[in-house]
């Protein structure tokens, strides 16, 4: 069972802190790594890698040029894609099905998301129908996907293994 | 059953987007309103009030001078206080008790939190022991407090009432 995150439309100055929060949430809530699209940002890469090294685990971060290409390749390799958007269907109606996926890409947007992403996604999921935060939406979806295993109080270095063990799957 | 949020140490330039996310998560996940401490920020107030007006509900935002004073007054009025910190106790061990609180103040920090806050809080709760985001921590705690009622897909204007009805309490 594995989750990777795709962060769309990063802007170097304006989004640095919010994208950093997205990355750290991805890591703390059990994702393997994150693809970031948008403006190249060496400071973001360095900051996330530094924190990952200090706190343990094998979380990775990588810039990609085209989100559409990344999603197509993900699907071609047998993965499925959940795009989080307030214009999607309510999360609770699909959380059971999404929770069965063994190789899931969770896509979180920035200001505007191109229509192609909605079409390519297997699910467009709304974490409430209200405007709030991609940081929160990602946390809620990962929390449901892993059944709250990240909240049990395991030590940091055991987190990845603990999440996998608690959900009883690979 | 009611929750208010207290955001500590807001800095006008550096934190504007993250604090906005904190406010919008507070609103979307069912809090009544938010107290913000730190640098006065008219742009933040205006932005959150504008979104609240557009999307409906009675969510409020207010600047306060002293978090310690606000917390003391909250407790004197019979409320309880949950401070979210990665140095706290695991959330899952306390979520049942916290979920019983009828008048809860959820405190989320900034870079550094003064020791007084830890002492005054009824709970210091860790949403994972990893560094991530106050935006995510707040969403997870409100989601657990309201038992996921915010994820059912009710329309925005029904959100406050729906949350209260779903949890079967006032």
Per-residue pLDDT 10s for chain B (170 aa) are 899 999 999 999 999 999 999 999 999 999 999 999 999 999 999 999 999 999 999 999 999 999 999 999 999 999 999 999 998 999 988 988 999 999 999 999 977 899 999 999 999 999 999 999 999 999 999 999 998 888 887 654 454 454 455 444 33
Q: Residue A161: pLDDT above 60? A: no
Q: Residue A157: pLDDT above 60? A: no
List beta partners, residue B80.
B104
Q: pTM above the 0.90 mark?
A: yes
Question: What residues does each domain of chain B span?
Answer: 2-166
Q: Residue A169: pLDDT above 90? A: no
Residue A104's pLDDT is 97
Residue A162's pLDDT is 47
Are B151 and A128 inside 8 Å of each other by CB?
Answer: yes
Residue B141's pLDDT is 97
Q: Which of A14, A28, A90 sits opposite B132 (nearest CB)?
A: A28
**What is A2-166's CATH number?**
3.40.1280.10
Q: Residue A159: pLDDT above 60? A: no
Gyration radius of chain B over CA positions: 15
Residue B154's pLDDT is 64
Report pLDDT digits (tens) over A59-101: 999 999 999 999 999 999 999 999 999 989 999 889 889 999 9
Residue A150's pLDDT is 83
Q: Residue A41: pLDDT above 80? A: yes
Region A17-36 average pLDDT: 97
Are A135 and B130 inside 8 Å of each other by CB?
Answer: no
Residue A165's pLDDT is 53
- How many Å lie between the alpha carbon of B51 and the closest alpha carbon of chain A? 8
Nearest residue of chain B to residue A86 (CA atoms): B153
Residue A112's pLDDT is 84
Contacts of A87 in chain B (CB under 8 A): none
Distance separating alpha carbons of residues A152 and A159, to the nearest angstrom: 10
Distance separating alpha carbons of residues A53 and A62, to the nearest angstrom: 15
Q: Looking only at Cα atoms, what is the longest distance across chain B? A: 41
Angle ∠(A100,A102,A104) on CA atoms, nearest 5: 95
- How many Å lie between the alpha carbon of B120 and the closest alpha carbon of chain A? 23
Q: Which of B140, B152, B153 sits opposite A143 (nearest CB)?
A: B140
Nearest residue of chain A to residue B163 (CA atoms): A128
């Amino acid at each position: 069972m594995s989750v990777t995150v795709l962060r769309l439309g990063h802007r170097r100055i304006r989004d640095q802190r919010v994208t950093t929060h997205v990355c750290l949430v991805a890591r703390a809530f059990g994702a393997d790594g994150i693809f970031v699209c948008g403006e190249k940002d060496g400071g973001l890469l360095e900051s996330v890698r530094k924190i990952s090294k200090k706190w343990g685990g094998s979380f990775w971060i990588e810039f990609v040029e085209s989100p559409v290409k990344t999603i197509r390749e993900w699907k071609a390799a047998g993965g499925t894609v959940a795009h989080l958007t307030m214009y999607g269907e309510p999360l609770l109606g699909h959380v059971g099905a999404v929770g069965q996926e063994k190789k899931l890409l969770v896509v979180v947007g920035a200001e505007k998301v191109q229509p192609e992403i909605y079409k390519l996604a297997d699910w467009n999921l709304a974490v409430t129908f209200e405007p709030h935060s991609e940081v929160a939406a990602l946390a809620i979806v990962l929390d449901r996907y892993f059944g709250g295993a990240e909240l049990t109080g395991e030590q940091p270095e055991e987190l990845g293994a603990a999440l996998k063990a608690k959900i009883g799957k690979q």
